[in-house]
Amino acid sequence: MMRCPKAGMEEDFAMSRKCELTAKGPQTGHKVSHSNIKTKRRFLPNLVNVTFISDALGRNVRLRVSTNALKSVDHNGGLDGFLQKARAANLSPRALDLKRAIEKKVGKPVFVKKEVKKAS
């Protein structure tokens, strides 16, 4: 029996400590005491629940993202711009559905070089 790849992804993101946009997850390491005794610990990503506004879809979208992803979304001109540039492999199933819906509404992004004005 073959499993659908999307079904497997849902298991990874369902109630997990993983960013829905960048797929940042927990890392493991050591807690080091003063006497240099090392014990296992987990470094968890800084996740926040955020409501984004999608201009293309005309609605609000709630996602659980890392604060690093929040900065990246602002840098790329909002949720629509970020999702158009993002790789599908890093996105959660919900974010992947949003990416497809935005591309369907807007179309594929066309990148145009900006002209540099010379000082006279």
Mapping DSSP onto H, E and C, the string for 51-112 reads EEEECCCCEEEEEEEEHHHHHHHHHCCCHHHHHHHCCHHHCCHHHHHHHHHHHHHHCCCCCC
Q: The domain that contains 41 carries what CATH number?
A: 2.30.170.40
Assigned domain for 12 exists: yes
Assigned domain for 119 exists: no
Assigned domain for 98 exists: yes
- Cα separation, 45 vs 91, in Å, equals 16
In this prediction, residue 53 carries a pLDDT of 93
In this prediction, residue 47 carries a pLDDT of 95
Assigned domain for 57 exists: yes
Domain with 81 in it: 5-106
- Cα separation, 85 vs 52, in Å, equals 17
Mean pLDDT of the chain: 84
Assigned domain for 114 exists: no
Overall domain count for the chain: 1
Assigned domain for 115 exists: no
In this prediction, residue 16 carries a pLDDT of 83
In this prediction, residue 106 carries a pLDDT of 82
- Show the low-confidence residues of the chain (pLDDT under 50): 1-5, 7
